[in-house]
């Protein structure tokens, strides 16, 4: 019996703009990258059970620089000694590239602002991020202050920031202001308080101001947030000198959607974390957001080409895990176990190679795995009892160079799936290759051809002289045929006393570094059943003979 009978106790705590703001809905896609600010080292760090040590923060910071972040929020220097020390270490050891700004966070309280400016003394490039909460719930329940008093908190903080910047004599510090809990604030009041702060700071083209409009708590569908952002962008003072920033959290699981629609609505900048780590359900996942743009043909201006390395560093220093199904970065996001999916991917890749190698349109794969440092054979096609012949054949071809005939691939696929089903486990590529070798390749029991010679006859037929070992006996036979393989088949029919029909023969070169070997595939029909064999040798004639013998040997295998 359902127990969730109390939905009526929840009220929608967000507010729409005073008039319709839907220009964002007319845009098809985001056509250029925003400026990015990583908050992994602040918001992401304060959400950890065990916050990063100084050494771990330094390592992650270097990784963020490597990816290409030009703005990195490094912490809340007034909050703890580790935060303060990290900030001073970056400055004193000259670890901030000239084209990178560090960002520090401060509440609108004088002693915290003062400590923050002490922390960034000597920094060539910094952003001081000032905030105070503005929502109805915060005003009424936490601060118990009027709108006018909340505006005064913001304005006084803005004035103090301006004062300390002048005292510090640092000309390259820019300001950022966040009306925290923006999504629960009436848009008209959010606009009023933002404009009051802007009037204090007087942004210019040379020294712009960042106005950050955070989804401190996600309260609405993404289109509501987009309308709020559009309203702010259209009505904000000094708009040409303001960088409108978004800091979406993910309480409703819509952080990426909030960001994408917010960018369509006019925002210029995104604050988030690489894999969405942050307070509660986390921040917007910048990897997902950036690579969503990438798959629309837009350069995100961040380099995720070595995703495995980023995941490794992140998991080690944060002690968090990237979910195996996390978009673009998870260990299984490119993996196809389903037979129909594997078949479509294999055919799509072949079509791309032959028809349009310049573009990526492969079914089921919105991103080329190689673009993020992943491999087709190890990451895309994964084999278990759900897999199909297309995927199994694709893996065998990509990793080991064997291109099976269609019917043989089907036979092999059933064998592999049966083994996976009985093991109740995924099979690794090496295991699949071992199954192939054991089932088909160069089989020597119960029959082995130990010696053979050919004679070209005047009537263009071939005579084969064959020496074979069979069940402890050595047998010599001669037979004629239309070709070498036909002659050997006739000799073996006579030697073994069996009747079979040679049905399929295919061959191809198997390249292996400096040597080239041939692979042959043969099927025979004996007593109404088809048996397959494969042969491999540097001589194509020998590989064909070995494939024939392998197929014959399989016809003696009662478990085939």
State whether residue 519 is helix, strand or coil. Answer: strand
The helix (run of H) or strand (run of E) holding residue 127 is: strand 126-133
Residues of the chain with pLDDT under 50: none
Could you identify the residue written with the tokens 């979910």? 323
- Cβ atoms of 267 and 229 within 8 Å: the answer is yes
Q: Please, what are the domains in the chain? A: 33-318 (3.20.20.70), 339-437 (no CATH), 447-555 (3.30.160.270)
In this prediction, residue 512 carries a pLDDT of 57
Distance CA 151, CA 132 (A): 9
Contact 377, 383 (CB under 8 A): no
Per-residue DSSP letter, 8: G
**Ordered DSSP codes for 433-447:** HHHHHHHHBT--SSE
Residue-wise pLDDT for 5-41, tens only, equals 888 899 889 999 999 999 999 999 999 999 999 999 9
Instruction: State the pLDDT at residue 560.
Output: 84
Instruction: Find, among 38, 33, 57, 106, the residue nearest to 283 by Cα.
Output: 38
pTM for the complete prediction?
0.81
How many contiguous H segments (helices) and E segments (strands) does the chain have? 17, 14
Question: For 165-172, which contacts have Cβ atoms below 8 Å and span 24 or more sequence positions?
Answer: 165/117, 165/128, 167/117, 168/117, 168/120, 168/121, 170/120, 170/121, 170/123, 170/126, 172/123, 172/124, 172/125, 172/126
Neighbours of 297 (CB within 10 A): 10
Q: Mapped to the 3 state alphabet, what secondary structure does 376-423 carry?
A: HHHHHECECCCCCHHHHHHHHHHHHCCCCCHHHHHHHHHHHHHHHHHH
């Amino acid at each position: 019996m359902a127990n969730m009978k109390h939905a009526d106790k929840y009220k929608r705590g967000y507010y729409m703009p005073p008039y319709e703001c839907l220009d964002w809905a007319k845009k098809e896609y985001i056509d250029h990258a925003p400026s990015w600010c990583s908050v992994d080292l602040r918001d992401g760090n304060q959400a950890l059970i065990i916050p990063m040590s100084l050494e771990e923060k330094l390592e992650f910071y270097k990784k963020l620089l490597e990816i290409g972040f030009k703005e990195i929020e490094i912490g809340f220097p007034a909050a703890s000694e580790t935060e303060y020390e990290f900030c001073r270490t970056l400055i004193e050891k000259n670890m901030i590239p000239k084209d990178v700004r560090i960002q520090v966070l401060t509440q609108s309280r004088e002693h915290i602002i003062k400590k923050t400016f002490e922390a960034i003394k000597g920094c060539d490039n910094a952003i001081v991020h000032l905030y105070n909460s503005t929502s109805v719930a915060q005003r009424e329940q936490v601060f118990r202050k009027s709108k006018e008093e909340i505006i005064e908190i913001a304005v006084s903080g803005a004035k103090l920031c301006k004062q300390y910047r002048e005292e510090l004599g640092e000309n390259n510090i820019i300001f950022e202001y966040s009306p925290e809990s923006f999504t629960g604030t009436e848009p008209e009041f959010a606009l009023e308080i933002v404009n009051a702060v802007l009037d204090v700071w007087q942004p210019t083209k040379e020294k712009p101001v960042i106005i950050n409009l955070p989804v401190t708590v996600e309260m609405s569908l993404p289109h509501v947030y987009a309308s709020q952002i559009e309203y702010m962008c259209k009505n904000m003072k000094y708009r040409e000198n303001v960088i409108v920033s978004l800091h979406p959290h993910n309480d409703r699981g819509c952080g990426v959607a909030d960001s994408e629609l917010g960018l369509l609505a006019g925002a210029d900048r995104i604050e988030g974390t690489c894999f969405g780590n942050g307070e509660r359900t986390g921040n917007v996942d910048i990897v997902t957001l950036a690579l969503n743009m990438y798959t629309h043909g837009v350069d995100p201006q961040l380099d995720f080409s070595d995703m495995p390395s980023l995941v490794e560093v992140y998991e080690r220093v944060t002690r968090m895990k990237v979910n195996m199904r996390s978009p673009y970065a998870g260990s299984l996001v490119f993996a196809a176990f389903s037979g129909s999916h594997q078949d479509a991917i294999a055919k799509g890749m072949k079509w791309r190679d032959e028809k349009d190698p310049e573009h990526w349109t492969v079914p089921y794969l919105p991103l080329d795995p190689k673009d993020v440092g992943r491999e087709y054979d190890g990451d895309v096609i994964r084999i278990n009892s759900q897999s199909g012949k297309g995927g199994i054949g694709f893996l065998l071809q990509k990793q080991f160079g064997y291109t099976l005939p269609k019917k043989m691939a089907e036979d092999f696929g059933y064998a592999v799936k049966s083994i996976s089903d009985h093991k109740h486990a995924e099979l690794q590529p090496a295991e699949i290759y071992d199954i192939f070798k054991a089932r088909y390749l160069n089989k020597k029991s119960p029959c082995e051809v130990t010696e053979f010679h050919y004679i070209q006859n005047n009537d263009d037929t071939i005579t084969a002289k064959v020496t074979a070992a069979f069940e402890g006996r050595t047998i010599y036979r001669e037979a004629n045929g239309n070709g070498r393989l036909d002659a050997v088949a006739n000799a073996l029919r006579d030697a073994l006393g069996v009747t079979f029909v040679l049905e399929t023969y295919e061959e191809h070169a198997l390249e292996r570094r400096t040597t080239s070997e041939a692979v042959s595939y043969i099927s025979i029909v004996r007593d109404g059943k088809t048996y397959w064999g494969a042969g491999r040798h540097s001589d194509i004639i020998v590989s064909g003979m070995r494939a024939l013998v392998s197929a014959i040997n399989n016809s003696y295998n009662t478990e085939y």
